[in-house]
Amino acid sequence: MRIDIISVLPELMESPFQTSILKRAVQKGLAEVHFHQLRDWSIGKHKQIDDEPYGGGAGMVMMIEPIDKCISELKSQRDYDEIIYLTPDGETLTQKIANTLSIKKNLIFLCGHYKGIDQRVRDLHITKEISIGDYVLTGGELAACVLADSIIRLLPGVLNDEQSALTDSFQDNLLSPPIYTRPSEYKGLVVPEILLSGNSKKIEEWLHDEAMRITLEKRPDILD
């Protein structure tokens, strides 16, 4: 999979891809992440990329021309499955969306700043708008990292068996059951007997029941 990320602050997104699992995914060639500094397509000697909104109002708007030039150049090099704009008014990111995007080949993420982007960019190029939650960030960069992480960890070969994405919370519309490791007792706090029993069938059942109990308690809305 290839992800092209367009931003005025690409340096903000470097470290997540230079650390741990995402770094390994990139090194193994399972994911390619390319950053594009939008200012490289800026206009005039002032390297302008934003301007005041028509009709007035506070804040600046990212101009159509630099973004159109950047996206058009990328599109001339390969076909993209989705061109995604990270925005608080997009569809809220879910595991299902991450699953769907993880089987795509080429994606563009566009990070907004200031008041947002000229509507005509959305009309012309954007195929999907994604929000990572009902709150407003200073820009789309951190949201782009969250989205990329949620997708890349699902690519075959990125996680090993122990980290398997199939047992994640949300993957089967259930939250994860509680987990424990050594010691079996700490300051009087004990691990549930069943987990020490060695009876794998009983353990499976218990884990499923606990996942159900916790989902009902915390997130009944995600149950089918």
By beta-carbon proximity to ligand ADE, the closer residue of 136 and 190 is 136
C-beta of 222: minimal distance to ligand ADE in Å?
A: 20
Distance, CA of 205 to CA of 179 (rounded, Å): 14
Q: Which of 10, 16, 66, 140 binds ligand ADE (CB under 6 A)?
A: 140
Q: Which of 5, 108, 132, 145 binds ligand ADE (CB under 6 A)?
A: 132
Q: Are 88 and 131 in contact (CB under 8 A)?
A: yes
The residue assigned the tokens 């980290």 is: 163
Query: What letter would DSSP give residue 133?
Result: S
C-beta of 151: minimal distance to ligand ADE in Å?
A: 14
Distance, CA of 49 to CA of 137 (rounded, Å): 20
Q: Which residues touch 34 (CB under 8 Å, ≥6 apart)?
A: 2, 3, 4, 5
By beta-carbon proximity to ligand ADE, the closer residue of 141 and 210 is 141
Q: Which residues touch 198 (CB under 8 Å, ≥6 apart)?
A: none
Count interface residues toward ligand ADE (CB under 6 A).
12
Q: Is 87 one of the binding residues for ligand ADE (CB under 6 A)?
A: yes
Identify the helix (H) or strand (E) that includes residue 6.
strand 2-7
> Given the rule CB under 6 A, which of 55-63, 85-93, 94-102, 199-207 is the region that contacts ligand ADE?
85-93
Find, among 162, 23, 26, 169, the residue nearest to 94 by Cα: 169
**Nearest residue to ligand ADE on Cβ basis:** 143
Q: Is 133 one of the binding residues for ligand ADE (CB under 6 A)?
A: yes
Q: Is 137 one of the binding residues for ligand ADE (CB under 6 A)?
A: yes
> Which residue ranges make up the site for ligand ADE (CB under 6 A)?
86-88, 112, 131-133, 135-137, 140, 143
> Per the annotation, where are the binding residues for S-adenosyl-L-methionine?
112, 132-137
